[in-house]
């Protein structure tokens, strides 16, 4: 077969275009209308517009340079309007305004940082619970001074801090303490928020067959029975007011298990299970119960652990650092607020990405 100029050599080739003839280029001008018919959809019409206005004398190089200059002014880190954790600024929201909050394990560490954040979020009464009254008195005084200085003259009501010594493993003492808070310290008979951060690690770097029963029982008593006692004692008040927030501090060890920390890992797994159960049982009573599972947080308790154990845990964190007390406090403030009203029986991870593996 002999091909002649003008022959169609492929389906869709425009008439008059053959193997020896190039099609004339199709130039579109501003204002032209292009129509495309798509089967099953119909005809789509689009007007042609110029990429750069005719009266814009900027060259492509000038536009590129301007873009580069804009890039050079970008700052690293969070936007300037967002204050970092630990900055001397008040939270933008007062999510816990006029609430009565109780925090266990609050003389130092995570519990102390949580109490501070709840106060900055507008809590009117913050009760610190721990073992030693002298430590509590010092912590309450220091928190009151810090929070007052931060609030300055902004017109926000000042919270009142109280410190109450209580052994969380003693159910009767926990019950009496909650009664005293509701009847004597609370201005309205309410207990709105209970955050349970009291906990111990126990002996570490010990294989299961070498774990001492006494140490295992001690860790379980504080970390599990202590949280059970707190829930049991505070729930009657929350049921009466048809509202409450319980936040239990668990650990990523309770989800993954940490070698050499059998008692601690087991106890924190129990805390997560307890939290899920309480969350389901009181979901129709305006009461939520959630847990937070941190990875390694920079506290004195962590500082007292063997360096080998801390390194083992930190190396598993994609961010390659410990979390901060301020970061946990910010998360607790959200979970304890009205904003988290539709979340209960849930365990929030604060692990720097470790939990995604």
What is residue 326's three-state secondary structure?
helix
8-state DSSP, 185: I
175 — phi, psi (to 5°)? Answer: -65, -45
pLDDT on residue 157: 76
Within 13 Å, how many C-alpha atoms sit on residue 130's CB side? 23
What fold, for 100-356? Rossmann fold (3.40.50)
Residue predicted with more confidence, 172 or 306: 172
Q: Which helix (H) or strand (E) holds 129?
A: strand 125-130
3-state class of 181 per DSSP?
Answer: helix
Name the residue ranges covered by the structural domains of the chain: 100-356
* Residues 6 or more apart whose Cβ sits within 8 Å of residue 314: 296, 320, 321, 322
Query: Which among 237, 243, 264, 282 is annotated as catalytic?
Result: 264
Q: Please state whether beta strands 193-196 and 100-104 pair in parallel, antiparallel, or not at all (unpaired).
A: parallel
Average pLDDT, stretch 222-231?
99
Q: State the pLDDT at residue 272.
A: 99
Check if the beta carbon of residue 107 is closer than 8 Å to that of residue 135: yes
Q: DSSP character for 349?
A: E
| Residue 23 predicted with pLDDT over 90 | no
What does the pLDDT read at residue 73?
62
Structure confidence by residue, pLDDT tens digits, 46-84: 776 665 555 556 666 765 666 666 665 666 766 665 544
Q: What confidence score (pLDDT) does residue 321 get? A: 85
Question: Distance from CA of residue 57 to its chain's centroid?
Answer: 50
Local structure of residue 221 (DSSP, 8 states): I
Cβ pair 200, 167 in contact under 8 A: no
DSSP structure class, residue 102: E
pLDDT value for 72: 59
Residue 342: both structure tokens together: 């539709």
Phi, psi of 232 (to 5 degrees): -60, -35
Other Cβ atoms closer than 10 A to 97: 13
Is residue 99 within 8 A of residue 93, CB to CB? The reply is no
HSE, side-chain direction, 13 A CA sphere, residue 181: 34
CB 129 within 8 A of CB 105: yes
Cα separation, 126 vs 131, whole angstroms = 17
pLDDT score of 84 = 47
% the chain with pLDDT above 70: 76
User: Residues 305-333: what's their mean pLDDT?
Assistant: 89
pLDDT of residue 69: 62
Tell me, yes or no, if 264 is annotated catalytic.
yes
> What global pTM score does this model have?
0.76
So what's the pLDDT on residue 285? 98
19: which 2 tokens? 């193997």
Q: Which run of H or E residues covers position 47?
A: strand 42-47
pLDDT band at 320 (very low <50, low <70, confident <90, very high): confident
d(CA 100, CA 273): 26
Is the confidence at residue 45, as pLDDT, over 90? no
The mean per-residue pLDDT over the stretch 294-319 comes to 84
SS3 call for 196: strand
- CA dist 196 → 7, 151, 225, 309 (Å): 85, 26, 11, 24
253: confidence class by pLDDT, cuts 50, 70, 90 = very high
HSE-CB for 249 with a 13 A CA cutoff: 32
| Residue 310, pLDDT score | 81
Of the candidates 46, 14, 43, 16, the one whose C-alpha atom is nearest the C-alpha of residue 30 is 46
């Amino acid at each position: 077969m002999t091909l002649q100029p003008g022959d169609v050599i492929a389906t869709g080739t425009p008439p008059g275009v053959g193997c020896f003839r190039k099609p004339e280029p199709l130039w579109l001008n501003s204002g032209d209308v292009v129509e495309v018919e798509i089967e099953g959809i119909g005809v789509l019409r689009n007007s042609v517009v110029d990429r750069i206005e005719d009266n814009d004398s900027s060259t492509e190089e000038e536009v590129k340079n301007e873009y580069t200059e804009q890039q050079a002014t970008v700052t690293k880190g969070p936007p300037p309007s967002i204050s970092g954790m630990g900055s001397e600024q008040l939270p933008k929201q007062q999510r816990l305004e006029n609430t009565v909050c109780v925090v266990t394990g609050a003389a130092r560490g995570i519990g102390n940082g949580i109490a501070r954040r709840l106060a900055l979020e507008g809590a009117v009464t913050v009760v610190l619970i721990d073992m030693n009254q002298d430590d509590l008195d010092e912590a309450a005084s220091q928190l009151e001074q810090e929070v007052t200085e931060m609030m300055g003259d902004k017109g926000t009501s000042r919270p009142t801090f109280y410190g109450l010594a209580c052994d969380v493993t003693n159910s009767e003492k926990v019950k009496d303490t909650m009664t005293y808070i509701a009847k004597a310290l609370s201005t309205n008979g309410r207990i709105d928020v209970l955050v349970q951060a009291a906990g111990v690690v126990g002996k570490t770097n010990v294989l299961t067959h070498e774990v001492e029963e006494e140490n295992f029982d001690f860790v379980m008593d504080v970390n599990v029975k202590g949280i059970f006692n707190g829930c049991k004692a505070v729930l009657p008040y929350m049921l009466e007011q048809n509202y409450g927030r319980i936040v239990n501090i668990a650990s990523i060890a309770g989800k993954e298990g940490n070698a050499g920390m059998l008692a601690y890992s087991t106890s924190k797994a129990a805390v997560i299970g307890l939290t899920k159960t309480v969350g389901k049982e009181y979901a129709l009573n305006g009461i939520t119960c959630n847990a937070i599972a941190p990875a390694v947080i920079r506290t004195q308790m962590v500082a007292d652990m063997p360096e080998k154990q801390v390194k083992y845990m930190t190396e598993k964190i994609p961010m390659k650092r410990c979390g901060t007390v301020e970061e946990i406090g910010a998360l607790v403030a959200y979970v304890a607020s009205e904003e988290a009203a539709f979340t209960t029986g849930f365990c929030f991870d604060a692990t720097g990405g470790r939990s995604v593996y």
